[in-house]
Structure 1
Amino acid sequence: MGLTDNYKLNLIQWYPGHIAKAEKNLKEQLSRVDVVFEVRDARIPLATHHPQIDEWVGNKARILVLNRLDMIPPQVRSLWIDYFQNRGEVPYCTNAQHGQGVVGVAKAAQAAGVELNQRRRDRGMLPRAVRAVVIGFPNVGKSALINRLLGKRVVESAARPGVTRQLRWVRISDQLELLDAPGVIPVKLGNQEAAVKLAICDDIGQASYDNQLVAAALIDLVNSLQEQAGELLPKSPLYARYELDPTPHTGEGYLHALAEYRHKGDVERTARHLLTDYRKGLLGTLPLELPPM
C-alpha cells in the first residue's frame, strides 16, 4: 500500500502564476549560465529533484547540493553520498543556515570556472567570471546558500516558500556571478507521494495542502521507515516526543488519539503542531527518504 493510497488522490495541487513566470524567466536566462547548482533537501533528496532539471542543465556543469544536512543522521548522509556517487554525481552536503560545507561548494564552482576559462583561452577569448545559477524547490535553502557564498545577507531568505520572486545577478567575487532564481515547482506533481513529502518538509506553498492529511501521512511515513530501517533513525521519535505509542494506530488514528491526549480533541491544532515539530527538528534527525537499495 503506497503512502497516499488512503488519502484523496491529487491531495496536493498548486501552480501559482508567479512560479510559471519564474520558470519562463529562468529558461531565458539559462543560456547565459555556465554552472547549475541544484539544491535539494537532504531529508527528501529524491522528492526535491525537479523533473525538468536535466533538460535545463543540458551539457553545463551541474553541482549537486544536499542542504539541511543537520536534519538527517550521519549514517544516512553517508548512504546518500554513496548512492549519488554510484550514479556518477558528487553531492556536496551543506547546512547553509550555519555555513557548513559551503566552502566545498564555492571551490567546485571555481574549478568549473577554471575549466570554462581554459576553453575560452583555447578559442582565443578573454577569461571572464563564471556564471552560476541556483535552482531548487522553494524553501530548500537556496537563499541561505547564496548568502553564505557571499558572506553577507543580500537575498531575502524566509521560511516561507516562494519569497524570492525576481531573477537577479549577484556578484560573489571576481571569479563568480550568481543568478538567484525563485523556487521552481513542476507544472504538476504527478507523483503525489513526492508531493506529500514536499508538504511535510514545507518545501511548497501552504495553500496547496490540508494539514491534517499531511500530518497523518508524516506519521505513516515515520512508522514505515522505523519498520524498514529503524537502526538508521532516532529511536521511536513520536513516542519520545509525545509519550504516545504510534504502533497500534494508522497515521490518521494516531493524529486523533494525540489530539485527545494533548489538545482537547483539536485535530487541526495537533496536525499543525506535529508538522512544526518535525520542521524544527524536534522529532530528532529524521529523514523521510532512504536511498533505494
Structure 2
Amino acid sequence: MTTPPIQWYPGHIAKAEKALKEQLKLVDVVLEVRDVRIPLATQHPQVSQWTGSKTRVLVLNRMDMISPQVQKLWESWFVAQGEVPYFTDAQHGKGTVAVVKAAQAAGVEVNKKRRDRGMLPRPVRAVVIGFPNVGKSALINRLLGRRAVESAARPGVTRQLRWVKISDRIELLDAPGVIPAKLDDREAAIKLAICDDIGEASYDNQLVAAELVDLIGYLQDTSGNLLPRSILESRYGLDATNVTGEDYLLTLANERYQGDAERAARQLLNDFRKGNLGGIPLELPPN
C-alpha cells in the first residue's frame, strides 16, 4: 500500500505556535495533554524545548478508551522514564482533580521564590498544550467546573490564545492545538489520522481505515491479551484473520454498504473513535 497522502495546512498553527512561544514566557506550568491511545505519536517534538525548565505536567487523556491493564503498563513505563503521568477522562471529569493539585503544587514553589524576592504571591499561570482534538478544551472546562471554552469533536476549534481564571490560585491559558510543521514518521501520521488528532488535515479515509484494520490485526497477533477479543468480527460479523486491511474494507463495503468503500471506511473510523470497537490502544510501551 502506498503512503497515505496525509497533508495538513497549518497556516493558523504556525501563527498560533509563534503566539504560544511568546505566552510561554509568562507561564509557570505547562499541562501537556496527549491521547492515551497513542501517547508517543501525540508527543510534540518541540514541547520540551519550548518549556525549558518550567514544570511540565503530563496528562494522558481518554483513559476510558484503554483497559486498566494497558493504563498500568503505560504508567510503569513513564515512571521508568522519570515522568509522572496523570490519566484523565476529561469528557466525564475523571482524574482532573489530581491535575489541578499538580499545577497548584508548582504554584507553591513559584510563590515561595516570589516571597524570597520580596514580591507578593499571585495565581499560578498554567498553559494547556497538545495536538488538536486530544481533549484540551474538555479538560479546561472540567477544571473550571463550567463550560468556558468551546469544545468540539472537530479538531482545531480553539484558534485564539485566551486566559481563563480557574480559581484564586490558578489562571489557565487555552492554546490552539499545535502539530509539527512536518511529520516525517509515517506510522505516527497514520495513528494521528486514525484517532482524528491531526487537526486541519486532509487524508484518504479508505487508506487510513485499511491501515487501522492492519494495525488491529498486528496488535492482536503480538499483544492479544491486552485487547478485546475478535474486535472486528464482533462488530461486523466478518473475520479479519489472514486478509489485508484493504481487502477487509472492500468485503465490508460489499456485505454492508452496497459496495461503497468510502462509507465503510468512515463507519470503521467512526466506530473506533467513539469506542464502539472496545478499548483499543494503538501503541503499547516500547520494550
Band the TM-score falls in, shorter-chain normalisation? over 0.9
Equivalent of residue 39 in structure 2, options 40, 45, 58: 45
- 2:214 aligned residue: 220
Q: Could you tell me how far 1:261 is from its partner in structure 2?
A: 1.2
- Displacement, 1:106? 0.4
1:31-180 to 2 correspondences below 5 Å: 31-180=25-174
Shift of 1:205: 3.1
In the alignment, does 2:254 pair up with 1:260? Answer: yes
Identity between Structure 1 and Structure 2 (%): 71
RMSD: 0.9
Structure 2 length as normaliser, TM-score? 0.98
- TM-fit CA distance, 1:206: 5.7
Using structure 1 for the length normalisation, give the TM-score. 0.96
Determine helix, strand or coil for the equivalent of 2:34.
Answer: strand
- Give the 3-state SS of the residue equivalent to 2:59 in structure 1: strand
Contact 1:96 1:145 (C-alpha < 8 Å) held by counterparts: yes
Residues 236-255 of structure 1 mapped to structure 2, 5 A cutoff: 236-255=230-249
Aligned pairs, number: 287
User: Does the Cα contact within 8 Å between 2:233 and 2:240 map onto a contact in 1?
Assistant: yes
What code does the residue aligned with 1:189 have? L
Deviating beyond 6 angstroms after TM superposition, the runs of 4 or more aligned structure 1 residues are: none
Q: CA–CA distance in 1 between the matches of 2:109 and 2:199?
A: 38
Report SS of the residue matched to 2:90.
Answer: coil
Partner of residue 7 from structure 1, selected from 2, 20, 30: 2
Deviations along 1:197-224, one digit per CA (max 9) or x if unpaired, are 0110011236421100000000000000
Letter of the 1:49 partner, please give it. Q
Letter of the structure 2 residue corresponding to residue 143 of structure 1: S
Amino acid corresponding to residue 223 of structure 1 in structure 2: G
Q: Residues of 2 paired with 1:206 and 1:29: CA distance?
A: 23
Corresponding residue number in structure 2 for 1:3: none
Distance 1:205 1:245 in 2: 32
Q: What is the aligned partner in structure 2 of residue 23 from structure 1?
A: 17
Residue 8 of structure 2 aligns to a residue in which SS? coil
Contact 1:15 1:188 in 2 (8 A): no
- Code of the residue aligned with 1:66 in structure 2: it is L
CA distance in 2, matches of 1:82, 1:159: 30
> How big is the shift at 1:15?
2.9
The answer to whether the 8 Å contact 2:59/2:86 transfers is yes
Q: Which runs of 5+ in 1 are unaligned?
A: 1-5
Cα deviations by residue, 1:1-47 (Å, 9 ceiling, x for unpaired):
xxxxx332x62121321111111110111100000000000110000
- State the alpha-carbon separation in 2 of the partners of residues 258 and 183 from structure 1: 34
Aligned to 1:247, what secondary structure does the other structure show? Answer: coil
